[in-house]
Amino acid sequence: MKLNYLGHMNTIQVKEMEKKTSLAMLPIGPVEVHGPHLPLMTDVVSAVEMVERAAVKLREKGIEAVIAPPVNYCLADHASVLDGTITLRPETVSGIIEDICLGLAKWNFTHIVIVNGHGEPRNREAIQEGARRAEAKNSKLHTVIPDWLWGGMSSCLHVMKCARPEDDIHAGEWETALIMMKYPELVDEQAMRQLTPNWAENFGEKLAAGLDNFIDLGAPQGYFGDPNAATVETGEKVYDHFAEFVMKDTLDLLKK
């Protein structure tokens, strides 16, 4: 099923889409370490996967969505102590989001779903600030940032196979399952087989106490969870659930 990728369109096609829908979906994620076994683009893959699946579900309801090209950088401070991670300042993230939202709204895409593949709180706050500023400058503009991770994860733990799914939060079972499903050639299976479960125990309390990087938080190799529990089947189930969560928030947004 061919979706409406903004970056694939020419200007005439964009003009036609302006008449058909006011809905745009914007994936965003960082270049960030995901253990020794997954690619740095994992969170971007996650965001795009949720957007594409949600767009299919929306089309089944008669709603078309324009999919904006993903933003491949954002704030990723926690993992910035590990080789390869690139983090942006909060004000940079906010500015990027503000400008993209205003740019989309200029062409009638005034209902914007920002799907953030990266759960770091300060990153989410920066994205929210950018969206808020864009809305303040254009009264027709409405945005939503679905809380698929903290809001949706708890209701799909039952499909996971690891011993402690509630403590599998980064580059563990479900994120490894995603890359197995989308880009199996990018999973370093030799490195993965050497990993033992590393659970995110008391993660929120550690953050509140001021620990702010993966090494101090208990993930010197950049993963929390059990990568070896991952299967393609789990990836399909988890991301279908996340897409449902995104779709429901989108339907609420379209009522505005």
Q: Which two tokens stand for residue 163?
A: 């011993």
What is the residue-averaged pLDDT of the chain? 97
149 vs 253 pLDDT, higher one: 253
Q: Residue 250 has what pLDDT?
A: 98
What are the start-end ranges of the E strands in 55-197?
66-67, 111-116, 142-144
Write the burial class of residue 159 (CB in 10 Å: 0-12 exposed, 13-18 middle, 19+ buried): middle
The structural domains of the chain, with segments of one domain joined by +, span 4-253
pLDDT band at residue 231 using 50, 70 and 90 as cut-offs: very high
pLDDT > 90? residue 26: yes
**For residue 131, what pLDDT is reported?**
98
The topology (CATH level 3) of 4-253 is: Rossmann fold (3.40.50)
Mean pLDDT of 161-177: 97
What is the pLDDT at residue 150? 79
Mean pLDDT of 55-77: 98
| Neighbour tally for 151: CB within 10 Å | 12
pLDDT of residue 149: 86
What's the number of CA atoms in the CB half-sphere (13 Å) around residue 186? 17
Whether this prediction's pTM lies above 0.95 is answered by: yes
Alpha-carbon distance 175 to 227, whole Å?
Answer: 8
For the residues 26-47, what does the mean pLDDT come to?
A: 98
User: Is a pLDDT exceeding 80 seen at residue 1?
Assistant: no
